Amino acid sequence: MSVVRTRFAPSPTGFLHIGGARTALYSWAYARHHGGQFILRIEDTDVARSTPEAVQAIIDGMAWLGLEHDEGPFYQMQRMDRYKEVIGQMLAAGTAYYCYTSREELDALRAEQEAKKEKPRYDGRWRPEVGKTLPPLPEGVQPVVRFKNPTDGVVAWDDVVKGRIEIANAELDDLIIARADGTPTYNFCVVVDDWDMGISHVIRGDDHVNNTPRQINILKALGATVPQYGHLSMILGDDGTKLSKRHGAVSVMQYDEDGYLPEAVLNYLARLGWSHGDDEVFGMAQFIEWFDLDHITASAAQFNTEKLNWLNQQYLKAASDSYLAGEVARRLAPRGIDPEQGPSLEAVVALYKDRAVNLNELADAVEPLLVEIHPTAEMIETHLTEAARAALAQLRERLVAVEWEKAAISQAIKETCTALGMKMPQVAIPLRVALLGLPQSPAIDAVLAVLGRETVLARIGRFL
């Protein structure tokens, strides 16, 4: 069996978004599954729209997700000589030709065809044919180079996700492979790159299905081996419409900012458009073991933030306290909070990680344990009644002497309840408000234990 070599080939005209991330993930996982190589290639031939910032954004996104490549990044702009070399060969071999049709003529042709409700396409006026007389060479027109596409028969391939696809050559026109300024175009560069880089499986977005027959024809004209193709359907936004700036078409780094763990995003993406029976929660090692291009869904999938949230929560619960403490500290820093002060961040995070959906929520939840709190007047009025304050006063006295660990603290709270004939919540809720400014928290004895005696006594003391 031959070596598996896959690639991810984004054009650096924006950040790495969720659709691109899934394409990269599948290509990466397929290579890993087969012990092959995963190549990163930057398709930057559109000089006007490509930016170094976008290149960096893509690399950052890949790094955040942990999709490391084995070769590259290769930049198409650095491979110009090679493309020109191949174009020269094709011109010489007669599989490509110069076309002197101007942009204006092309526009007119297109308009005419559209008016007649026809599929717009080049009419082959400069295509050399035996016994055909070409038009006279116009003055001052720099020619483009067009590929001489076969006119009959069909191009067919067995798409690994969509099955057999056949397209009649009659549907295809002679595409431009080099612009008037000599620079090669996308469909041509892809072909040369996939060929030169020995790509065995091209896994890419659905929007490239129509490019595939053209690329196969060029590959064949070059005498190159045609790789396997797999076209992934697109990802729709939360509302079922195409991803746009407003919903979902955001950088994967936005997910970091929104408090998602890369593991959760990866797991979510793996399951969006692919399945392994009823399995839902699995790490990348497991995914690599399972993933094999079977079971990829052919139809478009709608992004569902709620399920991502649920997955993120699962990963949050499973994550280690030290990892979470690091992530939370990173989010607390911009708020001017130094987690070195106060109780151990790991202990605090452990208390809250079961109840947060994302890291930002976790940071929010943890904050009152780390900084001075300011309960609202309303909160104080509703919860810190005379009776409540009396209970807190008595509890405080017990806490002064008690051994500082959960069971003993719990015992002290219970004794206070009994002594005053109060129910647990009647003491616990005011206590929460006094300590955290909130009526809800994890188990109160655990909160006290983590907060430390000094802080607890001081915070209760403020209301006596």
Residue 340 binding RNA, by CB under 7 A: no
Catalytic residue among 162, 245, 307, 423: 245
Q: Of the candidates 8, 3, 1, which has an alpha carbon nearest to the alpha carbon of residue 230?
A: 8
CB of 4 or CB of 362, closer to RNA:
362
How far is it, in rounded angstroms, from Cα 460 to Cα 65? 45
Stretch that binds RNA, among 63-71, 83-91, 120-128, 380-388 (CB under 7 A): 120-128
End-to-end CA distance of the chain: 78
- Binding track, positions 54-93, relative to RNA; x by CB under 7 A: ----------------------------------------
Vertex 417: Cα angle to 414 and 419 (nearest 5): 110
220 catalytic, yes or no? no
Residue 234 binding RNA, by CB under 7 A: yes
> Which residues in the 142-181 window bind RNA by CB under 7 A?
144, 162-163, 165-168, 171, 176, 179-181
Residue 293 binding RNA, by CB under 7 A: no
Distance, CA of 246 to chain centre: 16
> Which residues in the 418-457 window bind RNA by CB under 7 A?
424-425, 428-429, 432, 439-445
Tell me how far CA of residue 310 lies from CA of 216, 366, 441, in angstroms.
42, 20, 21
- Residue type for position 452: G
- Binding track, positions 374-403, relative to RNA; x by CB under 7 A: ------------------------------
Residue 280 binding RNA, by CB under 7 A: yes
CB of 252 or CB of 447, closer to RNA:
447
Residue 121 binding RNA, by CB under 7 A: yes
DSSP 266-320: HHHHHHTTB--TT-----HHHHHHH-SSTTB-SS-EE--HHHHHHHHHHHHHHS-
Residue with tokens 């399951």, as numbered in its chain: 271
CB of 68 or CB of 354, closer to RNA:
354
Residue from the set 46, 196, 258, 367 that interacts with RNA by CB under 7 A: 46
Tokens of 457: 């006594």
- Binding track, positions 191-220, relative to RNA; x by CB under 7 A: ---------------xxxxxx---------
* Nearby residues of 308 by Cβ (< 8 Å), 6 or more positions away: 260, 264, 265, 268
Question: Which residues are annotated as catalytic?
Answer: 245
